[in-house]
């Protein structure tokens, strides 16, 4: 009897130990899947060399990376300024939760995907992600032309656990096709206009969308 009890306890402990890595992997997977997503145009911050422009973002950008995030962003990582309509939702100046986070951006036209760190707030009327010339040319844009990239789909690691209920975590996305309208999309997914706008802060007042644009349709 005593032997059976000890054997049962041993088997139970072994089972728990074996299951622990699986649970940990599952939790990590859920954490990694949570992200803040959006779609905005891309713009060139300056024709100046990338190092000089990056230094401006780093030292005088709204996030204050050189003061409040020393050592957080690798020196080799390019920096960008997020459009104010997106940036302002997550706090002010160095208290903004996007500051120092890595943003992954994809040009919807050619599929080029690049990463940078959030360093500043772009108050420009076009609502674009402002970038240095090294990113600009890698996205396929001419070095002597500042015409905007029409559609940049992007995501930023949220940094909250699965139970956090962050306003920026998206469970389901939809890629816009020709002929789509905001009304058709929110009707299709059984959501309201207010929800669509809250989950996609880059949408303008007229709710103009373009093919290739990625929208969050469930949180």
What would the pLDDT profile of 32-51 be if each residue is shown by its tens digit? 446 788 999 999 999 989 99
In this predicted structure, what is the pLDDT of residue 51? 94
Of the pLDDT bands very low, low, confident and very high (cuts 50, 70, 90), residue 184 is very high
Separation CA 201–CA 98 (nearest Å): 14
pLDDT, averaged across the chain: 80
Separation CA 61–CA 119 (nearest Å): 6
Phi, psi of 213 (to 5 degrees): -70, 140
Q: What percent of the chain has pLDDT over 70?
A: 79
Nearest-CA neighbor of 91 among 159, 34, 152?
159
Q: pLDDT, tens digit, for every residue of 52-98? A: 999 999 999 999 999 998 888 888 899 999 999 999 988 988 899 89
Name the more confident of 162 and 56: 56
Question: Is the per-residue pLDDT at 171 higher than 90?
Answer: no
In this predicted structure, what is the pLDDT of residue 125? 83
Question: Is the per-residue pLDDT at 127 higher than 80?
Answer: yes
Query: Could you give the dihedral angle defined by the CA atoms of residues 199, 201, 207 and 209, in that order, rounded to the nearest 10 degrees?
Result: -80
* ∠ CA 179-129-45, rounded to 5°: 130
Separation CA 76–CA 73 (nearest Å): 8
Question: Is the per-residue pLDDT at 164 higher than 70?
Answer: no
E strand or H helix that includes residue 59: helix 50-60
Helix (H, G, I), strand (E, B) or coil at 42: strand
Model-level pTM greater than 0.75?
A: no
In this predicted structure, what is the pLDDT of residue 55? 96
Nearest-CA neighbor of 77 among 91, 57, 97, 96?
57
In this predicted structure, what is the pLDDT of residue 81? 97
Q: Are 62 and 88 in contact (CB under 8 A)?
A: no
Question: Is the per-residue pLDDT at 204 higher than 50?
Answer: yes
Q: pLDDT, tens digit, for every residue of 111-124? A: 999 999 999 999 98
In this predicted structure, what is the pLDDT of residue 207? 86
In the chain, how many H helices and how many E strands? 7, 8
In this predicted structure, what is the pLDDT of residue 168? 46
SS3 string, 62-86, reads: CCCHHHHCCCCCCCCCCEEEEEHHH
Question: Is the per-residue pLDDT at 8 higher than 50?
Answer: no
Token digits for 180?
């789509």
């Amino acid at each position: 009897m005593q032997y059976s009890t000890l054997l049962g306890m041993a088997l139970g402990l072994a089972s728990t130990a074996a299951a622990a890595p699986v649970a940990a992997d599952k939790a990590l997977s859920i954490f990694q899947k949570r992200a803040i997503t959006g779609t905005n145009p891309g713009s060139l911050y300056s024709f100046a060399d990338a190092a000089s422009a990056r230094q401006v973002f780093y030292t005088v950008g709204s996030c204050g990376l050189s003061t409040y995030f020393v050592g957080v962003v690798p020196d080799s990582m390019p920096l960008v300024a997020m459009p104010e309509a997106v940036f302002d939702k997550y706090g002010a100046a160095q208290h903004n939760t996007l500051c120092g986070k890595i943003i992954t951006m994809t040009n919807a036209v050619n599929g080029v995907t690049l990463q940078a760190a959030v360093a500043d707030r772009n108050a420009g009327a076009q609502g674009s992600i402002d970038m240095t010339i090294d990113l600009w040319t890698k996205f396929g844009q001419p070095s002597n032309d500042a015409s905007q990239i029409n559609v940049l789909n992007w995501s930023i690691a949220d940094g909250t656990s699965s139970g956090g209920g962050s306003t920026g975590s998206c469970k389901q996305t939809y890629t816009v096709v020709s002929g789509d309208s905001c009304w058709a999309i929110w009707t299709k997914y059984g959501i309201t206009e207010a929800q669509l706008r809250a989950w996609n802060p880059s949408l303008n007042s007229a709710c103009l969308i373009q093919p290739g644009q990625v929208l969050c349709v469930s949180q």
